[in-house]
Chains A and B, each alone.
Chain A
Amino acid sequence: MFEPVLLRNVDVPDGHLLATYEAGGGYRALAKALRKHTPDEIIDVVKKSNLRGRGGAGFPTGMKWSFVPKRAGKPKYLCCNADEGEPGTFKDRIIMERDPHQLIEGMAISAYAIGAETAYVYIRGEYTLAIARLEQAIAEAHAKGYLGTRILGSDFSFAVHIHCGAGAYICGEETAMLDSLEGKRAQPRLKPPFPAVEGLYASPTVINNVETLACVPHIVARGPDWFRGIGPDKSPGPKLYCLSGQVRKPGLYELPMGIPLRELVEDCAGGALPGRKLKAVIPGGVSAPLIPERGLDVGMDFDSLAAAGSMLGSAGVIVIDDSTCIVKVATRIIEFFHHESCGKCTPCREGLNWVVKVLRRVEAGQGAPGDMEQLEALCKGIFGNTFCALGDGAAMGLRAALAHFEDEFVTHIEERRCPFH
């Protein structure tokens, strides 16, 4: 039986308070890191754990940290990506609302490893309760000496600041987030230079997701072998899965990485709503290509989902049943990407506008022969030709819908109506 790690405090009364966190062993990993390990040893421990970023890209965290130059001659920064905007995702909100000290301890250890004295938590402005809880937790940690100057008697000093976003999905893209933090419109930057070398204020910067940082204290406390022993060796660890949509028990579930998607949807979340059948599942937020019901035996980890033509992304699992029109879902997803396109590059800005127009007319029963080819041509024009992953995510998702549910699109065009209305 798997014991929750990341969610162990979320249902505890006052789980967000320092006293509760300390009673559960909180901040002992920070003390251990500062007293027994050098920063390089911490990086090494995280590398050995095979922790991969939980924000969506799955980049190895320890490797990311090791790219930060040792002697930069400039301040280094840690940024926590808490701009959780991927539709279908709510895991970071729940960590921050109910167990914010887990994140703060993770940030403190991570900052010690990379040599940063300042962190900014970029948190979406809508998350007012999470912001209030995190502010309170930072103040508590400061008062107890877990943040501030010479933490726990060491030479390490560290401050955490909250920076509220103001409603832009693109801020989840790490270089757009940096521009936003610098007070500019959020648009992605050209890479290289990578943030580890030139990030915030042109200083070395590490950007990690909330859940990624929350894993760090546990890895330091229990060791990398423990972490690697959970789930697949190349994509290990406890993992938060956000279940939503047409499923009996939507909610946040913590299970090992690699659990079969079918088990997650049918056993944990209770399967389809009464009288309905599963039709498709989006496994990792709307950027992840949907998987038809017959493909649900895939493991929920970075490599297995990539091999199956989708991705783990943010593990926002959206369940779609047989009462729902896939053309309508695809249209809504592309409308989202179109709305959130930052406007910097033409294939994304103009291409998605065009895709929305075609999809809306197909869904409305006004599609024309040639629309399928048109959609494929537009996907081809967008995919691989955009500045950041936003356009790619949109094109990949649409291609999966077209490939797996071609007959539904064709029926809309041939019968000149939506068969679900």
Chain B
Amino acid sequence: MTMREKIEEAAARYPDQRSAIMPALLIAQRERGHLPGPVLEEVADILGVERIWVYELATFYTLFHTEPVGIFHLQLCDNVSCMLRRSEDLLRHLEEVLGIKKGGTTPDGLFTLSTVECLGACEMAPVMQVGDDYHGDLDIARIDALLDRLRATVRQATGADLAAAGPPGE
């Protein structure tokens, strides 16, 4: 299905097209990696809604990225339950081994490092979301093993696979 078809299918669930903006933005972000202005306008045009409505959602909700993010977006929870399980140590370690500060992306475009509010998986604190997957009960050794695994996926992937995984930027 094209992006347009996916968005139109999602929009059929609502009596009002405006309700479909959020699902449409999630679809567009999966397809395009992030949501720069031209993508927002494309979404508005597909749904036939005001562009400002699309812009205001894309800049309000934290899961929408108007700027490029790395192939692997490391989202480390640092809310109370994870903090009590020393998520700070993990953040410091990640900043050190990746050579970036939180909010930054590695020069090769592989990793973006963010801290996020509670992921709703406190039973496995400290926890980090990477793409669709949750990784819990983390410590420094497990973080290192995870980074190795993620790097290996990219090494194995061909250029085409890499593009399918959602490259950063245009």
Contact = CB atoms under 8 A, between A and B. Distances in A.
Interface of A: 84-90, 92-93, 124-129, 161, 163-169, 180-186, 201, 242-246, 250-252, 282, 286, 316, 318-320, 324, 328-329, 332-333, 336, 339-340
B153 interface: no
A166 B123 contact: no
B81 A245 contact: yes
Interface string B10-51: 000111111111110110000000000000000000000100
Interface of B: 13-23, 25-26, 49, 53, 56-57, 60-64, 78-81, 83-85, 116-125, 129, 132-134
A186 B15 CA distance: 19
Contacts of A124: 120
- Say whether chain A's binding surface is mostly helix, strand, loop, or mixed: mixed
23 contacts: A85-B120, A87-B122, A89-B118, A90-B122, A125-B63, A127-B120, A128-B133, A163-B13, A163-B19, A168-B62, A183-B18, A183-B21, A185-B57, A186-B60, A244-B123, A245-B80, A245-B81, A245-B84, A245-B122, A286-B80, A318-B122, A319-B84, A329-B80
Given A93-B120, A166-B62, A332 B83 contact: yes
Contact of B25 (A86, A93, A166): A166
A241 B78 CA distance: 21
Contacts of B22: 163-166, 180, 183
B23 A164 contact: yes
Contacts of A183: 16-22, 49, 53, 57
Nearest to A187: B60
B125 A244 contact: yes
Nearest to A183: B18
Nearest to A324: B84
A4 B121 CA distance: 21
A189 to B, nearest CB: 16
A185 B63 CA distance: 13
A168 B61 contact: yes
Contact of A90 (B26, B60, B83, B121): B121
Contacts of B20: 183
B120 A84 contact: yes
| The 3 A-B residue pairs with the shortest CB-CB distance in the complex, in nearest-first order | A166-B61, A183-B18, A244-B122
B84 A318 contact: yes
A250 B57 contact: no
Contacts of B133: 128
